[in-house]
């Protein structure tokens, strides 16, 4: 039986697995089509989306992303079509009856041409990707004579922001909130005080790491007024997810007025409750960690609180800046942000009320 079968050409039959493969391919194509149809419903916008660009740097990166996506989508579609064509076409045996390993030279030549052609196409795509990435990112850190210079230092888990100026009297420090003028380039020097962090404001620029012992620089600009949220994009410890910041872009005139207020020391108040809160602040452990310019408080371990009342959020954009949230943060910071380095301050209700009114008045 074996010798007889060996001397006769085997009948050409279609593999029984083809129907199953066709069903599997059809199901995969259905899932892919569903995913593509649902893509417009995805969260591709908002105040923390890299695809919702509001600055020239972010626009370059968004265009680069869509170019990569389009090319990769075309490649994927061609691969799926080729796979479908191969599955539905089937295969035919071309081997000689007495030599099962004998191959068809024409078929091998066509296969070799296809392999080398696809390899060359892959190399071309990679080269194009590299060149497009280079030219898109080459101008990301370009600065001009009108550049606003800021130094951002990452701590566990908050951001110190210093506005630099050749005149030392015009240099000041704030925290967790960056004000910038619309249309003006902003160069950010990035420094890490403890571990590696990553500065990322998706609407305005790409992300860049803050590495201890090294200074990195990032330049961005905002095309229109607005509030843009940033986030630490490198895992840096327990409260990494709650290490946020806000970039507030405003017209040049409004930014100049804000900067003029920030340069000034804290104003003295005639309100008895506020003055009582100042005494609470100065006579407790607050002064060991925080600075309020114009007072004896000069701590460096925590954020500068000179104008904390003018900020929109506290605890690195974890809580709204209101009297209630401020009181809760001071009374028990560990329940809100476990593992942070701010200790609980034991105060009675009257002192706590006075203290939060004092901090709210620092504008």
As a whole number of angstroms, the longest Cα–Cα distance in the chain is 113
Q: CA 304 to CA 314: how far, in whole Å?
A: 12
**Is 152 in the same domain as 256?**
yes
Encode the chain (363 residues) as per-residue pLDDT tens digits.
Answer: 444 444 444 444 444 454 555 566 556 666 666 666 555 555 455 666 767 777 778 788 888 888 888 888 998 998 888 888 877 776 554 444 556 666 667 777 777 887 888 888 888 888 888 888 887 777 666 666 788 999 999 999 999 999 999 998 899 999 999 999 998 999 999 999 999 999 999 989 889 999 999 999 999 999 899 999 999 999 999 999 999 999 999 999 999 999 999 999 998 888 999 999 999 999 988 999 999 999 999 899 999 999 999 999 999 999 999 999 999 999 999 999 999 999 888 899 999 999 999 999 998
Asked if the structure places residue 236 within a domain, the reply is yes
Q: Using alpha carbons, select from 184, 327, 188, 164 the residue that is nearest to residue 245.
A: 188
At 291 the pLDDT is: 94
Given 233, 263, 293, the domain boundary residue is 263
Task: Count how many residues are written for the chain.
Answer: 363
Residue at 44 is within a domain: no
CB 251 within 8 A of CB 292: no
**Residue 93 dihedral angles phi and psi, to the nearest 5°:** -80, 130
The pLDDT value recorded for residue 36 is 61
Are 259 and 276 part of one and the same domain?
Answer: no
Pick the last residue of a domain from 263, 288, 319. Answer: 263
Q: Domain range for residue 252? A: 148-263
Q: How many domains does the chain have?
A: 2
Q: Which of 198, 152, 156 is nearest to 178 (CA)?
A: 152
In-domain check, residue 61 = no
Look at phi and psi of residue 47 and say left if phi exceeds 0, alpha if psi is from -120 to 50, else beta. Answer: alpha
Domain identity same for 153 and 255 = yes
Determine, yes or no, domain membership for 353.
yes
Please give the pLDDT value at position 26: 59
Task: Flag whether 235 is in a domain.
Answer: yes
């Amino acid at each position: 039986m074996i010798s007889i079968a060996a001397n006769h050409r085997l009948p050409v039959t279609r593999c029984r697995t083809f129907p199953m493969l066709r069903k599997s391919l059809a199901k995969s194509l259905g899932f892919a089509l569903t995913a593509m149809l649902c893509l417009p419903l995805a969260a591709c916008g908002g105040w923390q989306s890299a695809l919702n660009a509001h600055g020239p740097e972010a626009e370059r990166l968004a265009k680069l992303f869509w170019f990569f996506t389009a090319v990769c989508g075309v490649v994927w579609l061609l691969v799926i079509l080729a796979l479908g064509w191969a599955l539905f076409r089937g295969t035919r045996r071309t081997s000689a009856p007495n030599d099962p390993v004998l191959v068809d030279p024409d078929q091998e030549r066509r296969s070799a041409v296809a392999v080398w052609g696809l390899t060359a196409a892959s190399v071309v795509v990679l080269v194009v990707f590299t060149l497009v990435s280079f030219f898109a990112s080459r101008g990301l850190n370009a600065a001009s004579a009108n550049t606003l210079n800021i130094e951002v230092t990452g701590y566990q888990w908050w951001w110190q922001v210093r506005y630099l100026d050749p005149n030392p009297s015009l240099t000041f420090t704030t925290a967790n909130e960056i004000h910038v003028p619309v249309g003006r380039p902003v160069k950010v020097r990035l420094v890490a005080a403890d571990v590696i962090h990553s500065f990322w404001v998706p609407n305005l620029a790409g992300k860049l790491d803050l590495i201890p012992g090294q200074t990195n620089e990032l330049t961005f600009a905002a095309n229109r007024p607005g509030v843009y949220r940033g986030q630490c994009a490198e895992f840096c410890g327990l409260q990494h997810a709650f290490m946020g910041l806000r970039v507030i872009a405003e017209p040049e005139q409004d930014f100049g007025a804000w900067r003029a207020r920030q340069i000034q020391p804290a104003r003295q108040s005639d309100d008895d409750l506020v003055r009582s809160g100042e005494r609470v602040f100065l006579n407790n452990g607050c002064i060991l960690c925080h600075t309020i310019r114009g007072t004896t408080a000069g701590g460096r371990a925590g954020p500068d609180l000179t104008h904390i009342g003018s900020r929109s959020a506290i605890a690195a954009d974890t809580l709204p800046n209101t009297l209630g949230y401020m009181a809760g943060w001071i009374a028990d910071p560990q329940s809100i942000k476990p593992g942070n380095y701010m200790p609980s301050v034991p105060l009675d209700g009257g002192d706590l009320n006075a203290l939060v009114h004092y901090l709210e008045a620092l504008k």
